[in-house]
Amino acid sequence: MLRTLEDLCKCTIGATDGPIGRVRDLYLDDEAWVVRYLVIDTDGWLTNKKVLISPISVGEPNWAEQELHVSISREQVRNSPDVDTEKPVTRQHELEYSSYYGYPIYWGSAGLWGYGLYPSLMQPAYERPESQQATPELAPNVQTPPDESPVTDADGDAHLRSSRAMTGYHIHATDGDIGHVCGMLIDDKTWAVRYLIVNTSNWWVGHKMLVAPPWIKAVSWENQSISVDLTRQAVMDAPVYNPAETLAHDSEARLYQHYGRDGYWAQSDKRKTGKSRI
């Protein structure tokens, strides 16, 4: 199911032996458009410290109570490798983090989670049933201008972006501006960013539209702008997003049909049968 960025940032995190804190931000992979870490404010339990929680550890959420339960203990969190959430997270930090918790690395293949289908199936010692050993979903291919690649250092590529910082980015169609990012819709199984929610009020008053990452041509982190492979007229003619309603699969299908694109759910079908479906 799809959850809004706002929904996720209202959640509390419960360890196996007690509360950890609250979600304050999400770190997004700027290449695969998937949530790699939840940034947790420990509410004074760990003095002046924010910690990172991987979706790999997240179990079945309790959305009614706005709770995410994780398969790690408070003591594990307390002793986890220090990560300065005010600075870019490097690949070396991620290696230390994954090693500490015993998680497999997610990079090194084209899938959203490496060779894993869902992050929850990547927990240590988890044996996937044969029926769940499907081909992993491929990550979208979004370009970053060469001179604006994420800053690198001796520790590796800092490729994670704050979801809060991305809110407000301007969206450019092929023939002009269409609005700014005002939210996101995130898949609570794969943790993929399925859509950016775009407020078109500076161009088309009173509407919110959805833009999927595969439709993004390029992102300029320096200029805080995102270019999409859509025209303004196509956006204006597309189904309008109503944040008061849950986005049903039929609505997603109509949106993709409008733009003449295959849905993200069609990837595995196409690889299995050679055919795509809407």
Instruction: Give the domain CATH number at 234.
Output: 2.30.30.240
Are 86 and 181 in a shared domain?
no
Are 87 and 181 in a shared domain?
no
pLDDT digits (tens, 9 = 90+) for 150-209: 433 444 665 899 999 999 999 999 999 999 999 999 999 999 999 999 999 888 888 999
Are 120 and 190 in a shared domain?
no
Of the candidates 54, 28, 5, the one whose C-alpha atom is nearest the C-alpha of residue 20 is 54
Which of 132, 149, 184 delimits the end of a domain?
132
Domain membership of residue 254 as a residue range: 164-273
Domains identified in the chain, total number: 2
Residue 145, in any domain of the structure: no
Provide long-range contacts, Cβ within 8 A and 24+ apart, for 259-266: 259/215, 259/230, 259/234, 261/212, 261/214, 261/215, 264/137, 264/192, 264/194, 264/212, 264/214
d(CA 95, CA 105): 8
Q: What is the CATH number of the domain that holds 40?
A: 3.90.50.10
Are 119 and 179 in a shared domain?
no
Residue 156, in any domain of the structure: no
pLDDT at residue 127 is higher than 80: no
Are 73 and 124 in a shared domain?
yes
Are 56 and 118 in a shared domain?
yes
pLDDT (0 to 100) of residue 149? 41
Do strands 208-211 and 18-29 pair parallel, antiparallel, or not at all (unpaired)?
unpaired
Residue 141, in any domain of the structure: no
198: amino acid identity, one letter: V
pTM, rounded to two decimals: 0.85
